[in-house]
Structure 1
Amino acid sequence: MAHAREALLDAALAALVHRSWSAVRMADLAVDARVSRQTLYNEFGSKEGLARALVRREADAYLQGVRRLLADPAPPERNLLAVAEWTVARAATRPILRALLTGAWNERLPVPRPVRPGARPAPVPAQRRADEGPPAPGELVAATAACAGERWAAGCELAVRIALSHVVAPAPPVAAQCEEPESWSPMTPTMTRLIETILRVETTSPRKIIP
């Protein structure tokens, strides 16, 4: 039922454009995804389970994008700059990712609640993984850095942390929050030059640990 699961997650993400998570109704999501309510509950167990799955998918999609950028056969500093720029662009239009990276959750978002102690494990493998909970901001940054491999992990972490200083700027209008960015140029030229300069030094003699 992977297709149904993705359709339900897409429907939930689209619903957040128009209403807060507390106003999202499971029955409406089933209708929008063209699946039965039973299928919805079979996949996620509850609305809280759906929230955990939605947040996990955002984290996974972000890391997948980072890996794709780092796989480009370009100089390391250019790839790391691309990761920084994409982090800012993605976070600006994906409020859940923004919250994952910054820890700044609000009432409009599906804040992932922990599974109740003693609860039976979900029958769906993807949901069991989601029920483990999302990464904390520091864990997500560390996972991002790990995508670059040991040699460039420090430079990647530095690029992402500089990008996050830009992510905390005001968010775009709600209507645009779930759209994919058309451009990866959300940062000012000054910040881009700063990252380029720092990464040029960092990738020439990378440190293993960033204080």
Structure 2
Amino acid sequence: MPAARESLLDAAYTALARRPWSGVRMVDVAAVAGVSRQTLYNEFGSKEGLARALVRREADAYLAGVDRALKEGGLDTVAEWTVASARRNPLVRAALTGCWSERLPSPTLSAVPSSSAVPAQRRADGPLPAPADLVALVRDRSLAALGVAGTAKTEAEALARDCELAVRIALSCVMVPPGGGGGVGRMVREAIRAGRSG
């Protein structure tokens, strides 16, 4: 039921925009999605399962945007995407920074036990990605997209540092927006240039 699953996740995201997660009711999410409450429970198992799937979906959408940014530009474009995504989406911001407000699902959502009655393909097993996990994923995707294969070891190491630097500058701009002109893209370009020449 992929369409029902997406409708339920959309309804949960909309509900979260209107009220704290503690105030989001499963019956309301199901009604907005146009499915029965039983379908919701069949799909996610519990409110915790719905929250975990919602956070994962938003993190996956952010990473898909990283891939697009890498195709369209470079590390500065990835940094700009990161800042824009975190400003627009509180779940992405929380996943990237580890700063979870009381309005959001708990970051300590536990994995669904493997004996759960929820089908394995619909469970969100395992822990949610930590900020360090997301930084590593963005760094590794950037390295892959920028073509490390076939480069000298020192060049590959420098590129890995540049990738991590770009993400970390973006995260600092998420926490404290930059003042002045140019924004995060300019900061990343200047930092990489300075690191390479120094």
The Cα shift of 1:115 comes to: 2.7
C-alpha contact (below 8 Å) 1:56/1:133 kept by paired residues: no
CA distance in 1, matches of 2:180, 2:12: 29
Find the counterpart in structure 2 of residue 12 from structure 1: 12
The structure 1 residue matched to 2:173, chosen from 161, 166, 170, is 166
C-alpha contact (below 8 Å) 1:43/1:124 kept by paired residues: no
CA distance in 1, matches of 2:163, 2:181: 19
Could you say which structure has the higher helix fraction? 2
- Equivalent runs, 1:57-96 vs 2, <5 Å: 57-72=57-72, 74=73, 79-96=74-91
Find the counterpart in structure 1 of residue 130 from structure 2: 136
Match of 1:189, as an amino acid? Answer: G
CA distance in 2, matches of 1:187, 1:102: 23
CA change 1:121–1:87 in 2 (3 A) is: farther
Find the counterpart in structure 1 of residue 95 from structure 2: 100
Higher relative contact order (CA 8 A, sep 6+): 1
Identity, in percent, stands at: 55
C-alpha contact (below 8 Å) 2:77/2:185 kept by paired residues: no
- Equivalent runs, 1:46-65 vs 2, <5 Å: 46-65=46-65
Find the counterpart in structure 2 of residue 194 from structure 1: 187
C-alpha contact (below 8 Å) 2:8/2:33 kept by paired residues: yes
CA change 1:139–1:13 in 2 (3 A) is: same
| Runs of at least 5 residues in structure 2 that lack an aligned partner in the other structure | 149-155
The Cα shift of 1:200 comes to: 3.4
Find the counterpart in structure 1 of residue 119 from structure 2: 123
Q: CA RMSD in A?
A: 2.4
Question: TM-score if structure 2 supplies the norm length?
Answer: 0.83
| Runs of at least 5 residues in structure 1 that lack an aligned partner in the other structure | 171-185, 206-211
How many correspondences in the alignment? 183
Match of 2:92, SS state, is helix
CA change 1:190–1:103 in 2 (3 A) is: closer
Match of 1:48, as an amino acid? Answer: E
Find the counterpart in structure 2 of residue 146 from structure 1: 140
